[in-house]
Amino acid sequence: MLHLIKDTVMVLHTSNLTYILGTLIITGLISIYIVVILFSHSPRKPFPEELKYTTSDVTGELITGDLPTGPEDDIILSVVVPSYNETGRILAMLTEAIEFLRKALPEKWEIVIVDDGSSDGTSDYCLKLSHEKFNLKPNQLRVIKFTQNRGKGGAVRQGLLRVRGKYGLFADADGASKFSDSQLLLDSIKQLEKSENGKTYAAMAIGSRAHMVNTEAVIKRSFIRNCLMYGFHTLVWVFGIHSINDTQCGFKMFNREAIDEIFPYLHTEGWIFDIEILLLGITKNIKYKEIPVSWHEVSGSKMDLAIDSLKMAKDLVIIRMAYILGIYNANKEC
């Protein structure tokens, strides 16, 4: 009789424990789901004035037009420059880029400056340079100006969705990458996109500074910045990108097919957008290659090391979880 009572109590204990554990797991999962939803992101809809571009004609007069939605003319390469308060740094970058483009792809290029709500007159400054310094034809340099800041990812996304070229490159306004290395990216994409049946594969070429890890340019950076870099690499690895050594280089090129496969689906507008681009690319079997590029440290970074690093780590976790939980969908435009 005593045995029977003991056994019954045991069964009750075990079923209670199972019940409590089950409740805890379900509550935990629901809480994670809610947290990921709360921190997930969708690009805001553009204001009407953000769907226009401005360019300068040969007399310096400004012309405004509606942004294109696909390839046009015979533009081969479009260069998107996300720019936030860049009057102090962009001249050097534009000088190097225009010199290269004029020689390598005469008349078959465009530059799209995406001014992300700057307060220092970046747009006007670039339009003035276009006419006075570079003597560009209308539409060779276009400016898209946002009324409200989005973040680097948002600027790159909106820019690449509105380029006219067969290939689109995004490049930082500080000119940290050597612009002529874009030829290496272009050559690589042209190889990657080829198929035997004449179809063009979606392809991207990823500028990389991984070969510079032990060089002076990186060692000279602050100890904290290098520690954060290693911590970030570890997190990226844990969260599923194992085949790309430098995910963050601001120098990446896409063919038209890859632009269409990636950018309408890109949620992230902050600094961590590169990771979502690469995750989308890998998920969608887009061909890619990491291409070593020359790079030098340029002062005047807009990144706040402490705050932005924490934000990036949080956003990285959110992106990964949002795809795992089906909150983000790689095949649904956002």
Ligand X SMILES: Nc1nc2c(ncn2[C@@H]2O[C@H](COP(=O)(O)OP(=O)(O)O)[C@@H](O)[C@H]2O)c(=O)[nH]1
Binding interface with ligand X (CB under 6 A): 82-84, 86, 116, 149, 151-152, 155, 172-174, 176, 250, 301-303
> Rounded to the nearest whole angstrom, what is the least distance from the CB of residue 86 to Mg ion in the complex?
10
Residue 155's binding partner out of ligand X, Mg ion, none, with CB under 5 to 8 Å set by partner kind: ligand X
Q: Closer CB to ligand X, residue 251 or residue 323?
A: 251
> Rounded to the nearest whole angstrom, what is the least distance from the CB of residue 281 to ligand X in the complex?
20
Q: Closer CB to ligand X, residue 176 or residue 228?
A: 176
Beta strand extents in 256-333 (DSSP E only): 287-292
> Rounded to the nearest whole angstrom, what is the least distance from the CB of residue 151 to ligand X in the complex?
5
Residue 227's binding partner out of Mg ion, ligand X, none, with CB under 5 to 8 Å set by partner kind: none
> Rounded to the nearest whole angstrom, what is the least distance from the CB of residue 84 to ligand X in the complex?
3
CA distances from 30 to 26, 27, 147 (A): 6, 5, 37
Residue 173's binding partner out of ligand X, Mg ion, none, with CB under 5 to 8 Å set by partner kind: ligand X
Q: Are 117 and 148 in contact (CB under 8 A)?
A: yes
Q: Closer CB to ligand X, residue 36 or residue 112?
A: 112
Q: Closer CB to ligand X, residue 78 or residue 83?
A: 83
**Residues at the interface with Mg ion (CB under 5 A):** 174, 176
CA-CA distance, 176 to 171, in Å (whole number)? 9
Residue 86's binding partner out of ligand X, Mg ion, none, with CB under 5 to 8 Å set by partner kind: ligand X
Q: Are 134 and 94 in contact (CB under 8 A)?
A: yes
Q: Closer CB to ligand X, residue 154 or residue 281?
A: 154
Q: Closer CB to ligand X, residue 13 or residue 302?
A: 302
Reference 293, options 207, 230, 212; nearest CA is: 207
Q: Closer CB to Mg ion, residue 89 or residue 166?
A: 89
191-198 contacts: CB < 8 A, separation 24 or more? 192/287, 192/288, 192/289, 193/255, 193/257, 193/287
Residue 175's binding partner out of ligand X, Mg ion, none, with CB under 5 to 8 Å set by partner kind: none
String of DSSP letters for 95-110: HHHHHHHHHHSTT-EE
> Rounded to the nearest whole angstrom, what is the least distance from the CB of residue 263 to ligand X in the complex?
15
CA-CA distance, 17 to 9, in Å (whole number)? 12
Residue 315's binding partner out of Mg ion, ligand X, none, with CB under 5 to 8 Å set by partner kind: none
Beta strands 251-255 and 203-208 are: antiparallel
> Rounded to the nearest whole angstrom, what is the least distance from the CB of residue 329 to ligand X in the complex?
25
> Rounded to the nearest whole angstrom, what is the least distance from the CB of residue 52 to Mg ion in the complex?
28
> Rounded to the nearest whole angstrom, what is the least distance from the CB of residue 142 to ligand X in the complex?
15
Residue 82's binding partner out of ligand X, Mg ion, none, with CB under 5 to 8 Å set by partner kind: ligand X
For 167, phi then psi, to 5°, come to: -125, 145
Q: Closer CB to Mg ion, residue 176 or residue 321?
A: 176
Does residue 62 sit in helix, strand or coil? Answer: strand
Query: The tokens of 165 are what?
Result: 């070229």
Beta strands 77-83 and 141-145 are: unpaired
Beta strand extents in 199-307 (DSSP E only): 203-208, 251-255, 287-292
Residue 151's binding partner out of ligand X, Mg ion, none, with CB under 5 to 8 Å set by partner kind: ligand X
Beta strand extents in the chain (DSSP E only): 52-56, 62-66, 77-83, 109-115, 141-145, 167-171, 203-208, 251-255, 287-292
